[in-house]
């Protein structure tokens, strides 16, 4: 459906080009929420826009208008509810079912290809610390594609996200494989030193503050999946420098094994993932 075409008879011609060309849908056939950004110039038409979305997408039960950027430690958007009260949905992604309420927890359907890419790199029997896990979408996608993974600890501080992560463990029959833990990422790593084959750090605006912790809890030879942001001209430079600085401070050797632009984060700014392997055994002969 093209929203603009749908609203031609309602919105004046000079404002029509401000109607967003797209919006996010979170949910499935059983019920979905549409999330849209509406510029202030279209304030008088916001309910008409919401009604047009509902008319054309039968599964959409609620329309939320996104206000401002994500904020707070739980990384949530502020929303204005335009239509509908029920915002709890089951989102289906790559064969995985994820229950969530986007007004209470972080979730982005736009990360689905990154989840598939990361899952494709996981090896048999990995023990994984998934920091900043939210409702734990990466964990369920990994388990779906690599059922031989040993265990994934999903570490998160938002109690609502933990509640949904636990529901999702049941929905995806992941008991004993995905373990949600309501805990601060730094404190968790502190207690689990040298333990993990992989540490996943899905907090692009803050993960760098926890790199010291992640390097501490990854095992010798393990991999850290580090998320960061960078400008279009050179999206990986800042992330690479931060990684190398932390590795040097921790007195470990790190080797970047993969880099990926995840998606656009803001105009001309990308969210990126830098995967690096950590070697904790320093060769003294080499150093002398
Ligand atoms: C960008 S979201 C990513 C959530 C999830 N991995 C996903 O992709 O949908 C980051 C999450 O980290 C959580 N968080 C922030 N600081 C944290 C901390 N110190 N320890 C554990 N979780 C934290 C937030 O509540 C939020 O749910």
Examine the fold and report which residue of 87, 121, 154 is the final residue of a domain before the chain moves on. Answer: 87
Cβ of 184 less than 6 Å from ligand 1? yes
Kindly state whether residues 66 and 121 are assigned to the same domain. no
**Residues 167, 75 share a domain:** no
CA angle at residue 280 from 276 to 286, to 5 degrees?
105
29: in domain:
yes
Q: Write out the DSSP string of 147-211.
A: TT--EEEEEES-HHHHHHHHHHHHHTT-TTTEEEEES-HHHHHHHSTT-EEEEEE--TTTGGGGH
- Mean pLDDT value of segment 151-177: 98
Question: Do 53 and 170 share a structural domain?
Answer: no
- For ligand 1, say whether the CB of 137 is within 6 Å of any of its atoms: yes
DSSP state of 74: T
Is residue 101 a part of any domain in this protein?
no
CATH classification at residue 31 = 3.30.300.110
**Which of 208, 205, 238 has its CA nearest to residue 224?**
208
Domain boundary, last residue among 26, 53, 87: 87
pLDDT for the residue numbered 1: 61
Q: What is the pLDDT at residue 285? A: 45
21 pLDDT tier (thresholds 50, 70, 90)? confident
CATH number at residue 179: 3.40.50.150
Instruction: State how far the alpha carbon of 254 is from the alpha carbons of 74, 198, 218, 257, 271, in Å.
Output: 30, 14, 12, 9, 21
The encoded tokens of residue 90 equal 């089951």
Average pLDDT over residues 135-151: 98
C-beta 203 within 6 A of ligand 1: yes
At residue 159, does pLDDT exceed 80? yes
Q: From its phi and psi, is residue 221 left (phi > 0), alpha (psi between -120 and 50) or beta?
A: left
103 falls within a domain:
no
Same domain, 82 and 193: no
Residues 134 and 262 in one domain: yes
What single DSSP character describes residue 30?
A: T
Residues 113 and 205 in one domain: yes
Beta strands in the chain (DSSP E): 24-28, 31-36, 60-71, 76-83, 89-93, 96-100, 127-131, 151-156, 178-182, 196-201, 218-231, 253-266, 269-279
Q: Which domain holds residue 77?
A: 3-87
CA 146 to chain centre: 19
In a domain, 231, yes or no: yes
Same domain, 79 and 121: no
Residues 134 and 219 both lie in one domain: yes
Cα 143 from Cα 90, distance rounded (Å): 18
pLDDT at 282: 65
Instruction: Identify the band that residue 2 occupies on the pLDDT scale cut at 50, 70 and 90.
Output: confident
pLDDT in tens, 49-74: 999 999 999 899 999 999 999 999 99
Q: Which of 132-136, 200-204, 237-241, 281-285 has the lowest mean pLDDT?
A: 281-285
Once rounded to an integer, what is the mean pLDDT over residues 260-287?
86
What's the gap in Å between 133 CA and the centre of ligand 1?
A: 5
Residues 147 and 44 in one domain: no
Q: Answer with the one of 20, 55, 87 that is the final residue of a domain.
A: 87
Number of domains in the chain: 2
Nearest CA to ligand 1 atom 11: 132
In the reported structure, the alpha carbon of residue 51 is separated from the centroid of ligand 1 by a whole-number distance in angstroms of: 33
Q: Taking 60 as the threshold, does the pLDDT of residue 283 lie above it?
A: no
For 227-236, letters b (16+ CB in 10 Å) and e give: bbbbeeeebb
Residue 94 lies in a domain: no
| pLDDT tens digits, one per residue of 25-54 | 999 999 999 999 999 999 999 999 999 999
User: Is 125 within a domain?
Assistant: yes
User: What is the rounded distance in angstroms from the CA atom of residue 209 to the CA atom of residue 216?
Assistant: 13
Main-chain phi, psi angles of 115, to 5 degrees: -60, -40
* 40 burial via Cβ count (<10 Å: 0-12, 13-18, 19+): exposed
Ligand 1 atom with minimal separation from the 227 CA: 1
- Please tell me whether residues 113 and 228 are part of one structural domain: yes
Same domain, 158 and 204: yes
Asked if residue 226 has its Cβ within 6 Å of ligand 1, the reply is: no
Instruction: Identify whether 95 is part of a domain.
Output: no
**146 shares a domain with 53:** no
Residues 6+ apart with CB under 8 A from 42: 11, 15, 18, 19, 49
Ligand 1: centre distance to CA 241 (Å): 23
Question: Would 241 be classed as within a structural domain?
Answer: yes
């Amino acid at each position: 459906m093209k929203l603009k075409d749908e609203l031609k008879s309602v919105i004046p011609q000079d404002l029509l080009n401000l109607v967003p060309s797209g919006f996010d849908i979170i949910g499935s056939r059983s019920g979905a929420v549409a999330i849209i950004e509406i510029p202030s110039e279209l304030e008088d038409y916001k309910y008409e826009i919401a009604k047009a979305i509902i008319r054309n997408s039968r599964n959409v039960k609620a329309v939320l208008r996104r206000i401002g950027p994500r904020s707070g430690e739980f990384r949530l958007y502020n929303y204005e509810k335009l239509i509908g009260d029920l915002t709890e949905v089951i989102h289906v992604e790559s064969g995985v079912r994820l229950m969530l309420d986007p007004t209470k927890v972080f979730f982005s359907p736009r990360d689905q290809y990154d989840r598939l890419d990361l899952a494709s790199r996981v090896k048999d029997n990995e023990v994984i610390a998934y920091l900043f896990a939210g409702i734990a979408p990466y964990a369920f996608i990994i388990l779906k594609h690599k059922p031989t993974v040993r265990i994934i600890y999903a570490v998160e501080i938002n109690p609502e996200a933990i509640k949904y992560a636990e529901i999702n463990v049941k929905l995806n029959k992941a008991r004993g494989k995905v373990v949600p833990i309501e805990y601060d990422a730094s404190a968790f790593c502190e207690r689990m030193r040298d333990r993990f084959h992989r540490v996943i750090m899905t907090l692009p605006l803050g993960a760098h503050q926890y790199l010291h912790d992640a390097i501490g809890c990854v095992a010798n030879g393990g991999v850290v999946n580090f998320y960061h942001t960078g400008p279009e001209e050179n999206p990986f430079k800042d992330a690479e420098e931060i990684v190398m600085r932390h590795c040097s401070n921790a007195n470990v050797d790190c080797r970047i094994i993969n880099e990926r632009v995840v998606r656009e984060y803001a105009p001309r700014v990308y969210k990126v993932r830098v995967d690096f392997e950590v070697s904790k055994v320093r060769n003294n002969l080499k150093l002398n």
